[in-house]
Copies of this chain bind each other. A is one copy, B any other.
Amino acid sequence: MNDESDSAEVVDLRSDNEAPAAPEIMAAIERANRGPAAAYGQDAISARTRDLFCDLFETDVAVFPVLTGTAANALCIAQIAPPFGSVFCHPHAHLNTDECGAPEFFSAGAKLMGVAGEHARIDPGALREAIEGTDDLDVHQCKSAGLSLSQSTELGTVYPVAQLAQLSALAHDAGLRVHMDGARLANAIASAGCSPAEMTWRAGIDMLSFGATKNGALAAEAILVFDRDLADGLERRRKRAGHLLSKMRYVAAQLEAYVADGLWLRLAQRANRAAGALAAGLARVPGVEIPHPVEANEIFARMPRALAEGLAKEGVAFLRWPGAPDLYRLVAAWCTSDAAVARVLACAERVARAHARM
């Protein structure tokens, strides 16, 4: 029994960020704690972690650990866009809708410009049109400076590598830099089965928010800079944002354990598999519709309110999605067990049946 978690009885599908940390990562923190170490990232673990990322991504990448995805994203936008610049992103992008203006704050006022696309993936045609609609000689509009892509997306879909490459090429041709919000990159890579390099810099990504927190870390993200020009000044930006930890080794230790021997992909595969099973099962429940392809670890489900309430009553925790009355989000995490999946599906069928009888 766990007196620290909210309830042992609940299947928590509200968010993968409600999951605990993986034991391998806890162990790494313990190991990092055996004596003094240089502060501010000058320690041995931080150095090893930098090397690890270079190996993992098969290129010389600059690595800046931070604590939150919001910080990673906002720092990247500030590096890409001058205060008088703008960055294209999907209107549903987390950095546009859920970070309380962090990109605007860090960049001193750059603008995010929405570019639409189905299932929260930016449509290349729409991006082409948006780029053509900008005029870099017109001083009355912000200067187009970047493109930000979420992988996986806010709606749990995954950009195919070819679409990433196409979008990046459009951006680069117009002089823009490309950022990827990879808060759930592990799930996207586990889903696509490609290499980290293929899904990022080989597809034109210049800067990456590499997430670990949602997939088994306590609090650890890393900004990876493939285009080294974009690293200029980033250390000081991180410092003055309060994201250079004195005891940075504890963040580095999490990242090291996370990527060292493929743990990150194993954890993501578990989450994806659970999500897939949940989605498949829910799709068979009468009245349930799955409007977006389930390609990572998030499931969006349209369901009657009675079913949603019935599930909640039985201890299945998940969120109503804002802006749509009957749309719900269920998120599988690295620790979502087969038993939990089975319990949710059994519960859904039972509630739906009961409801049908009424």
Contact = CB atoms under 8 A, between A and B. Distances in A.
A34 B5 contact: yes
What band does the interface of chain A fall in when counting residues whose beta carbon is under 8 Å from B? Answer: 35 or more
A358 interface: no
Given A110-B104, A323-B133, A236 B37 contact: no
Given A101-B83, A142-B100, A239-B99, A26 B18 contact: no
Given A10-B36, A68-B242, A109 B99 contact: no
The oligomer's copy count stands at 4
Nearest to A253: B4
A242 to B, nearest CB: 3
17 contacts: A3-B34, A4-B44, A17-B247, A33-B218, A67-B67, A67-B242, A83-B237, A84-B101, A97-B141, A100-B141, A102-B240, A105-B240, A105-B241, A108-B108, A139-B235, A139-B236, A139-B239
Interface of A: 2-6, 8, 10, 12, 14-15, 17-21, 26, 29-40, 43-45, 66-68, 70-72, 74-75, 82-84, 86, 97-102, 104-105, 107-111, 133, 135, 139-143, 213-214, 218-219, 233, 235-247, 249-251, 253, 322-323, 333, 335
